[in-house]
Every structure is written in structure tokens, then in C-alpha cells.
Amino acid sequence: PAHPEVLPVGTTLDRYIMHRQHAFAFATGELSQLLRDIALAGKIVHREVNRAGLIDLTGEVGLQNVQGEAQQKLDVIADVRFRRALTNGKEVCALISEEEEGILFTGHNNGKYVVAIDPLDGSSNIDVDVSIGTIFSIYRRITPVGSEPSVEDFMQGGHEQVAAGYILYGSSTMLVYTTGYSVNGFTYDASLGEFILSHPDIKSPKNGTIYSCNDGNLDSYDEAVKKYLTVCRQRQYSARYIGSLVADFHRNLLKGGIYLYPPTSKNPDGKLRLLYECYPLAFLAGVTGCLAVNEQEAILNIKPVSLHQRTPFYIGAPKMVDELLECYKNEK
Ligand code: AHG
Ligand code: MN
Ligand code: MN
Ligand code: MN
């Protein structure tokens, strides 16, 4: 379909979504409604995040999720909020979440979509007022509408995503998403209760001077990664690492940079999860001109085999990612 005309800064998310829907003759409106449901849950989580310190929402729940991480109260609250919004909307027949081991069936078997979500990204930053996020990935189901959805709906592979994005609860709250044509950022105006288009058609710089990784793991990184990081230091690039993937990615996207989560002794397959962290950011990044890879292939080409699988993850300005891959080639 033709590229729909770009709307001006200041357009509300609702209006933007409606405009896009009309621009695509085939759009039935369900995806639009689904995106609105995500925005609604995002507003609710924004509210919870902003008052967490006042109403006893900080700290651990005392339970572990399927990946063995201690769940924070806001991890669970965000999970519940997104699940509820996506269930109430009726367009989603099933979802998977970082915080839930198996598939969650919404009971709406007529829903055409499935969603993979990291409800709250950057758990370790919740209690210290540092930026955190939400990451989401949307597929059109492949099982027949009306039937029970199944695991295959989630195993379609990164290229099949129909929309993906994130919400960053930072110095402002922002929703950034794509349906594959352009990436647009909407800043939340809490006084109006609206997301407003503030960053139309985001493109990544071709090159950058920021690198982001957990330096404490350096000793267990691959030789190629160590070499690349040495080059970054020789060039006096800036080291920036928040420890919230969404926030690190967003900064690098706007300013030009590379994010690295290599294999470590603690996490030999890397730490980040393919379906609800790496795929959605890789899909969105691709539209902006970024590259997203592990040491072997493009992230979107990785064959999914399980709901919570992990992968090493390198994402950012194309020139920087290419240089990292060069280091891997030279190691062979
Ligand atoms: P989550 O909080 O959703 O479990 O994700 C944590 C991830 C990601 O947000 C972050 O970039 C990374 O873990 C930080 O890991 P380290 O603390 O190992 O650097
Ligand atoms: Mn977690
Ligand atoms: Mn995460
Ligand atoms: Mn999370």
C-alpha cells in the first residue's frame, strides 16, 4: 500500500491511528483498537509508576518468574494491567508475557491477534526512580479465527510481526511504535491524558559515538566484543548504560549508538528474551535504519523455538553494528 501522508507534530495518538487506518484500504480497525488498548494500559502503568513510592508499590513480591528473576511489585502490576486491557479489548485471542510461563488465553477466540509483551522492562530501576519501559510485539494469528489459539501463533518469526513498539516511562512517558512503514513517537501529556505525536518518522543516525553494555561482565565477553569495545574506548566514545533496555535503546536510536548484551558466564545465551524484547525492538529498529543481530544472523531471522528463549543482542546504528560484526569475522 502507498505510504500514508505524514501527520503534523501535535496530532493525538487516537487521531493518528484513525488516519492510518483510513489510509490502508484493507484495515478493519481491530489493530487500531488493539494499539489503543496498549496506550490505555500504558497510561495506567504511567500513573502507577509515578506514584509507586507513595502507595507501597516498590520492592519485591517474594515470587520468582519463569526465568528465575525476583518479581518486583510493579512487574506484576504492569503484567496485570496489560493483560486486562488486552483482554477487555477482544481483538487479542492470546498473549505471552515475561512474567507468565505459558500462553494466556483471553477467551476471545474470534480475536485475530496475539501479543508478546515485556510488561515492565528494567525492573532493577523501579525503586530508584530511573527510566523503565514496556515492550510489545503483535502478530496476526495463523490458527483459524474462532478456534483455540496455539503456540504456533507465537512461533511465526520476527518478520511476521504486524506491529511492535515500546513505552518508555522516563523524564517523559513516550509511546514509540511501528506497523512497518515508519516509526513514530508520541509523548504523553498527563494533564490531557493523551499521547501526542512529538517524534514523527524517526530515523537512526548511520553512525554514532555511544556504546551501551554492562561493563561488569567484560571479562566473560567474546574476544570480538572485547576488541570492539577497545576500539570504542580508543575513539573516546561515550559509555552510557541505564540497565533498562528500552531506555538504552531509545537514547541510542535518537542520538546514534550501539547496545550490546553479549553471552556471559552467567547467561551463556545472552540475557534478553527473543519474543518480547529482541524481536520487537529489532523490527522497529529496522524501519529506522538500525541493525539488530546476534553474532551469527539478523535477529529477525532467528527461528523461535520456545516462548522465553534468549539470544545475544546487538542493536544500533548500522555502521557501528557492522564494525562489531567485522570484529567477529576477524576472530574466525
Ligand atoms: P527485565 O527488567 O524486563 O527483566 O529486563 C531486564 C533486562 C533489560 O532491561 C536490561 O537492559 C538488562 O536486563 C540489564 O541486565 P544487567 O543488569 O545484567 O546489565
Ligand atoms: Mn524481569
Ligand atoms: Mn526486559
Ligand atoms: Mn520485564
What is the residue with the minimal CA distance to atom 14 of ligand 1?
A: 243
pLDDT tens for each residue of 183-192? 999 999 999 9
Query: 142 in helix, strand or coil?
Result: coil
pTM of the model: 0.97
Is 3's pLDDT higher than 70? no
Distance 146 CA to ligand 2 centre (A): 33
Percentage of the chain exceeding pLDDT 70: 97
pLDDT tens for each residue of 265-309? 999 999 999 999 999 999 999 999 999 999 999 999 999 999 999
Is 54's pLDDT higher than 90? no
Q: For ligand 1, pick from 76, 169, 261, 273 the residue to mutate: most ligand atoms within 8 Å of CB.
A: 261
pLDDT value of position 20: 83
Residues 6+ apart with CB under 8 A from 298: 282, 291, 292
CA distances from 196 to 169, 172, 186 (A): 15, 12, 5
Q: For ligand 1, pick from 69, 75, 77, 121 the residue to mutate: most ligand atoms within 8 Å of CB.
A: 121
pLDDT value of position 1: 45
The verdict on the CB of residue 270 being under 6 Å from ligand 1 is no
**Element of type H or E holding 227:** helix 223-234
Q: Which of 39-43, 52-56, 73-77, 112-116 has the lowest mean pLDDT?
A: 52-56
**Nearest ligand by distance to the CA of 123:** 1
Of ligand 1's listed atoms, the one at least distance from the Cα of 216 is 19
Say if residues 241 and 214 touch (Cβ distance below 8 Å). yes
Q: For ligand 1, pick from 61, 123, 128, 132 the residue to mutate: most ligand atoms within 8 Å of CB.
A: 123
pLDDT value of position 73: 92
**Nearest ligand by distance to the CA of 249:** 1
pLDDT value of position 173: 98
Say if residues 310 and 261 touch (Cβ distance below 8 Å). no
Q: Residues for the chain: how many in total? A: 332
Higher-confidence residue of 322 and 7: namely 322
Is 204's pLDDT higher than 90? yes
Amino acid symbol at 100: E
What is the residue with the minimal CA distance to atom 15 of ligand 1?
A: 243
What is the residue with the minimal CA distance to atom 18 of ligand 1?
A: 214
**Nearest ligand by distance to the CA of 122:** 1
The verdict on the CB of residue 118 being under 6 Å from ligand 1 is yes
Interface confidence, given as ipTM, is 0.98
Distance 137 CA to ligand 1 centre (A): 18
Segment 242-262 shows an average pLDDT of: 98
Of ligand 1's listed atoms, the one at least distance from the Cα of 123 is 2
The verdict on the CB of residue 121 being under 6 Å from ligand 1 is yes
Residue positions in the annotated binding site for Mg(2+)? Answer: 98, 118, 120-121, 277
What average pLDDT does the structure give for the chain? Answer: 95
pLDDT tens for each residue of 86-123? 999 999 999 999 999 999 999 999 999 999 999 999 99
Cβ count near 141 (within 10 Å): 21
pLDDT value of position 27: 63
